[in-house]
Chain A
Amino acid sequence: MTEIMKPLAITLTGCAKTFADGTKALEPLDLTINAGETFVLLGPSGCGKTTTLRIIAGLEQPDAGGRVLFDGEDVTAQSIEKRNVGMVFQSYALFPNMSVAENIGYGLRLRKTPAAALRARVGEMLSMMRIEKLADRRIDQLSGGQRQRVALARALAVRPRALLLDEPLTALDAKLRDALRIEIDELLRRLGITAVYVTHDQAEAMALGDRIVVMEHGKVAQIGTPRDIYQRPATLFVADFIGTMNRVAGHVSHGAFVTSAGSIPWPEAPARATEAMFRPQDVSIADQGAPHLKGTITAAFFLGDRTRLAVDVGGDKPLILEAAARRDFNHGDPIGLRIDPHGLLSL
C-alpha cells in the first residue's frame, strides 16, 4: 500500500470544556499523542472522552485558555474542515443521497481532484477495505459492518493527517465487532497513521491501543500502555474498570498480608497497605500445600472451557477466580486458595 503519510503529533494543553447549560464536561486537560500511535480514550459514558475527541477534531472549541497543537502548530481556532482529520462516527454518518463510491470520493471531490485520480483513489480504498462489489450500492442497502468499512474508506481517502474514531464498533453485534476490530488494528498499523480511538469497552481499548487514557468525570485517571494500566492501576477506579480486580482488607506483618481468612506471603508489601488487590488469574486452588486464604464457594459458573468461582472470605465482595472446567464445585463447599505474590498490589 502506498500510504506514506507523515504521522501527526497532537498536543492538548489546558483544554477544559463547559457546555452552554453549565455542565462541566472536561476539567483542564493536558495530553500528548505521539506521531503514529493508536491512542485510546477509555471510560464510562459521561467521562469526557467524546468531548476530548471532538476538541481534537475541531467540532468543539475548548474553554478559553485551552490549546490544540498539531505538530506544534496551534490549530485551536481552525474549524474542522480546515484541519484535515479523518472522522469515523458510531452512526457512520454516510450520506444517504450518494452511492458507496460517491461517499468515498466526496472528500476528493471537495478538493477538486481530477476525475481520473479520484476514480483511482476510490478504487484503491474500495479494495483496501475489500468492498469493491459494493461500489454502486446505495447506503440503505448495506449492513452495519459494510457501512463501517465505507466510513473508514471515506475518512482515509483524503489522506488525513490523523484518524479520529468515535465508538466505531459500538453499533455492531459482538461477533462482527471482534472481526472488524482486528481489521481496524491491522489497518492502523499498516498505515502508520496517528489514530485517536474513543471507546467504553476495555477489551477493545486493550486490544487496539498503543497507549490508553482512562478518564473519569472529565479528568484523566491514568495514562499508560495497556500493560501498565492492567498491571499497575493508579486508582481504584482504574483497577475496577479494567478487568476484574479482587480486594481483601487486612494489614502487613512480617512479610505477609494478614486477613481474617488467613495470611498471604507478600515479601514486597508496602508497610502501610490496608488492602491487597489481585487479578483472578493470580489465584489458584490450594490442592497441595497450605492455603493462604480459606473461604466458602458462593457461586460457580460453568463457562465451558473453565469454571468461574465466587468465594466468600469474609469481605464485602466475594473473590473471583477461575478453575479448571473438569472439576465439580458446589455452593457452600469450603475451599483453600493460594495467591501468587507477584500478582499482589496495593494503592
Chain B
Amino acid sequence: MKRGAAFYAQLGFTLFVCAFLIVPVILSILAGVTVNYLNGIESGFTLRWVYAVWDGYRDTIFLSIGIALACLAGTLVLGIPAAYALAKRQNAFSRALEELLVMPVAVPGLATALALIVTYGGAGGFRTSWSFILVGHILFTLPFMVRSVLAVLSAIDLKSLEEGAASLGASFWQRFFHIVLPNCRGGILAGSLMVVTLSMGEFNMTWLLHTPLTKTLPVGLADAYASLRLEIGSAYTLVFFLMIVPLLVAMQWLGQARPSKFAADDE
C-alpha cells in the first residue's frame, strides 16, 4: 500500500509525543536503580536506593494503602445507596444532587483542603489523625463511585427487575441484595479500582491535610525529591509504579465490555 507524506508526518508526530511522555518515566525508573545518576548508568545498577526508600518511607506506603482501602469502604457505603437512590428517582432535585456530587472534582483540591482545615482544623485529635486525610479523599473520590454505579443502574431496566422480584415475594432488602447489587457488580468494581487508584495518587489536597506523622506515599515522594538524593526520589517513583500499574491494568481490563453470545430468535 502506498502511503503519502502526510501519513509519515503524522506517525512521526505521534511517536515524538509518545517519546516525550515515556522517556522521562524510563529515565526516572533508571535513575532509581543507578548507583550514581550523575555518572550515568556506567556506574552500575543497584537496589540500594529502593531499600533506602523502604527503610525511610515504609510507613507512607502502608498509610496510603490503609487510606485507600478505608476510602474504598467509605465510598462503597455512601456511593452505592446514593447511586441507587438517584437511579430510582429521576427528577430535577436528583439531577441537581448529581451535579453537586461532582463539585469536589471540579473545585481545586487546594480549596477543598483549605475549607476542611478552616472548618475542622481546631478539632485537635481529628486534625492530626489520618482520618482527616480520609475525609478529603472520600469527598474527592465519591463522585467516581456514584457515577460508575449509576451508569450501570441506568443501563438496566431497574424498575421492572425490582417489580418482577417483588411480585415473587421479595422484600426491599431481598431485592437490593439479590437483584440490584449483583446486577451493578461491574460498575462497583470499576468504581472501586478508580477510587483506590485516585486515593493512592492524590497529592494536591493531601499535601495540605497531612501532618508530619500522617504522610501518604505521594507526599513522601515530594518530600524525598525535595530533600534527598535524586536516586532515592526516583526509586520511590519506581515503588509507586509497582503499586499503581497493576491497578490501572485491572481497570482497563474491566472496562472492556465482555462479549456475550446472543441466540438468534428461535422457533
Contact = CB atoms under 8 A, between A and B. Distances in A.
Given A91-B157, A95-B161, A95-B179, A143 B266 contact: yes
Interface in A75-104: 79-82, 84-87, 89, 91, 93-97
B169 A158 contact: yes
B266 A89 contact: no
B20 interface: no
Interface in B218-267: 260-267
Contacts of B178: 95, 106
A142 B267 CA distance: 12
B166 interface: yes
Nearest to A96: B183
Contacts, number: 86
Contact of B183 (A95, A158, A176): A95
A93 B163 contact: yes
A57 B167 CA distance: 8
A95 B165 CA distance: 9
Nearest to B157: A91
A79 B166 contact: yes
A78 B266 CA distance: 39
Q: In this complex, which of B169, B170, B171, B265 has the most chain A Cβ atoms within 10 angstroms of its Cβ?
A: B169
A97 B166 contact: no
Chain A interface category by residue count: 35 or more
Say whether chain A's binding surface is mostly helix, strand, loop, or mixed: mixed
A158 B163 contact: no
Interface string A115-157: 0000000000000000000000010111111100000001100
B156 interface: yes
Nearest to A158: B168
A59 interface: yes
Given A95-B183, A96-B183, A146-B266, A87 B163 contact: yes
B56 interface: no
A145 B262 contact: no
A41 to B, nearest CB: 17
Interface string B143-172: 000000000000011001101111111110
B129 interface: no
B163 A80 contact: yes
A145 B265 contact: yes
Contact of B263 (A91, A107, A146, A176): A146
Given A91-B157, A91-B160, A96-B183, A86 B167 contact: yes
B265 A143 contact: yes
Contacts of B265: 143-145, 173, 176
Chain B interface category by residue count: 20 to 34
B88 to A, nearest CB: 14
Contacts of B4: none
A140 B262 contact: yes
A326 interface: no
A89 B170 contact: no
A110 B157 contact: no
Contact of A97 (B167, B183, B261): B183
A179 interface: yes
Interface in A216-274: none
Contacts of B124: none
Contact of B168 (A107, A138, A144, A164): A107
Contact of B267 (A94, A111, A154, A176): A176
A97 B182 contact: yes
A57 B168 CA distance: 11
Nearest to A102: B178
Interface string B166-192: 111111001000110011010000000
Given A95-B183, A146-B263, 13 more contacts: A81-B166, A84-B169, A89-B163, A91-B160, A95-B164, A107-B168, A107-B169, A145-B265, A145-B267, A154-B168, A158-B169, A175-B267, A176-B267
